[in-house]
Every structure is written in structure tokens, then in C-alpha cells.
Structure 1
Amino acid sequence: MIETVRQALRDAGHGDTILAFAEGTRSAQDAARSIDCSVAQIAKSIVFRAGEEVVLVIASGAHRIDRGKVAALIGLPVKPADPAWVQEKTGFAVGGVAPVGHACRVVTVIDRELLALDPLWAAAGSPMHVFRTTAEQLIAMTQGTVGEVKQDL
């Protein structure tokens, strides 16, 4: 899947900024430790279901996602997606879901708080690979809707 992400980045005019980390980047905390950045700079990709629609939320690693806010942004109710469904639909295993290169059409929502952070780091198709990017590049590559998605404490 890393090569799929690499090709999707190329197709979008994004540089090949994929890096590998032997210690892994499965969680936002793992990724931030490996990369030596803040957890907030990890652009985590979380997949939800809206019926059979794949809804991808790209959020700051520092945030929990409020499904109600996501549903309001896209106009459809969303629920958690189980790992087998995520892999079947997107081609990615949980822990390595990238913002680009999916095997299906996805509806993408981007956490507006990512706009204030630079650089960002996103999964690149495996739990050991990430790529460096910016919020503007993510928006352009995914055609994502930017909005408030973080859960209020």
C-alpha cells in the first residue's frame, strides 16, 4: 500500500516525502515520538461508515472526533467502522490508513485545527510509514470539507 500512496501523492503533484520508522507509527502518540513532533501535528485518518459510504476524517492526533459534528458537516449519520470493513473498502489496514490512495470513493472531512499546524505528518499506507504534508495540500489532494470535528471536553 505504500507504493499506492506514493503514486497518489505523485498524481496529486505532492512530493514524495514518505519516511519509514522501524519503531512504528500505529497511533498518533507513536508517530509523534518516532518523528519527534507534537501529537497535534499528526494528521490521523479515521474511517467511519455512513451506510455503505466511507467517511474519512483527517484530524489532529491530539483530538478525539465528535461523530455528531462529522454527521452535521456531511449531512449523513456516521458510525464507527470495524477494521475488516475499513480494509475491505479502502484497501488499508487500521493503523496505516492514508488520506489518499483509497480503493474506493471516500467522503473526506478535515479538522480545521490542522490549518494552524505546519508541517503535518500522515500515515502512508502502513503502521511504519508516514509522509510530510500541509493542511493546504491535504485539502487539495482529498477535496475534503474543512470543519470543526473535535470532541468538546
Structure 2
Amino acid sequence: MSDRTHPAVDRVEEALKASGVEPRTRWFASATPTAASAAAELGVEVGAIANSLVFTIDGDPLLVMTSGAHRVDTAWLGARLGGTIRRAEAETVKAATGQTIGGVAPVGHPAPIRTIVDTALAGYPEIWAAAGHAHTVFATTFDELVRITRGEPGPVAPD
């Protein structure tokens, strides 16, 4: 644990603790806003990074936790979920999550957000997600990520 703090990171750590998870937050000296930069900093495969991507589905926020090795096929996923998916504007991301793009965590939001968890993440024994700030990540597992987000596991693009 670091002695550094940030309000969004504090909310993420509180949410993790409320879910029965001891936060293992890691702070970086510089921002790691992309899966590639986080993977390089951690020395892991880019696929082990759980990207937090905020979209809207028919106007409502939708959080997609996808493997850093994948792209979300919004047309395909929207059809699978029964709606139209669009990338959320920065203001929508901040309002829905309380966090800014580049550091959006899967938890610690002002209200629950429908969440899809990419099943490709299940292929990694340990995955890393942003912890509320572009300089932070925390370790988790696929099963734990699904549980703490109350997420819907599934593919985010066709095979």
C-alpha cells in the first residue's frame, strides 16, 4: 500500500473493502492511461489489463471491462445486449463513475453501473484494473471482478 491518496482512489478502496477485498493498490510515478502502458509498467501481458471503458446503451451508462488485448465491437455488443452502444463523452464518464478517463475503476462509482466483463480476462490468473486515477491499478481475478462489479460475463466482440 502507498501513503499516497486521492479521493477517487479512496472511494475505490472503500468499495473494494465493502466487497470483502483487501485493496492492493499500486501507484506509478507516471500515468498509465492505456492498457499497453500499464502492462509495460507491471511487466505483464497486455491481455491481463482490464480496461474500463464507459459507453452508453440507449442513453444509459454501460461499463465494459475488456481485456487490453481486445477491442469492443460496439455494433455487435449492442445487438447482443438489445440496444445501441455509443462511446460516452468525458462528462458522462465523470458523472457516471466519479472518475476521469484514463483511470476509471470498475468500482467506487456514485451509483451502480451495468457492467459487462470480457470473458477473455478469465484466461489470466491475475488481472489489473485502474484504481480511480491514471497513476493507479489494483490486482484482482476474473471471478472477483465479476463479483465486485455484479457484472455480466460475456464476449465483447465476435470470435
Report TM bin, short chain.
over 0.9
Hey, what's the Cα distance between the residues in 1 that align with 2:19 and 2:83?
28
Alignment match of 1:50 (pick from 34, 57, 60):
57
Q: % of aligned pairs identical? A: 37
Count matched residues.
Answer: 152
CA RMSD of aligned residues (A): 1.3
State the secondary structure of the residue aligned to 1:62: coil
The equivalent of 2:93 in structure 1 is: 86
TM-score normalized with structure 2 length: 0.90
Pairwise CA distance, 1:89? 2.1
Hey, what's the Cα distance between the residues in 1 that align with 2:51 and 2:69?
9
1:113-136 CA-partner distances (Å, limit 9, x unpaired): 111112100000000000000000
The equivalent of 1:61 in structure 2 is: 68
Taking a change above 3 Å as real, the CA distance of residues 129 and 151 of structure 1, as seen in their structure-2 partners, is farther
Q: Which runs of 5+ in 1 are unaligned?
A: none
1:30 paired to 2:50: no
Q: Which runs of 5+ in 2 are unaligned?
A: 1-7
Alignment match of 2:82 (pick from 61, 75, 81):
75
Deviates most, 78-87 or 40-49? 78-87
Deviates most, 133-142 or 45-54? 45-54
The equivalent of 1:101 in structure 2 is: 108
1:119 paired to 2:126: yes
Pairwise CA distance, 1:51? 3.2
Pairwise CA distance, 1:151? 6.1
Pairwise CA distance, 1:103? 1.3
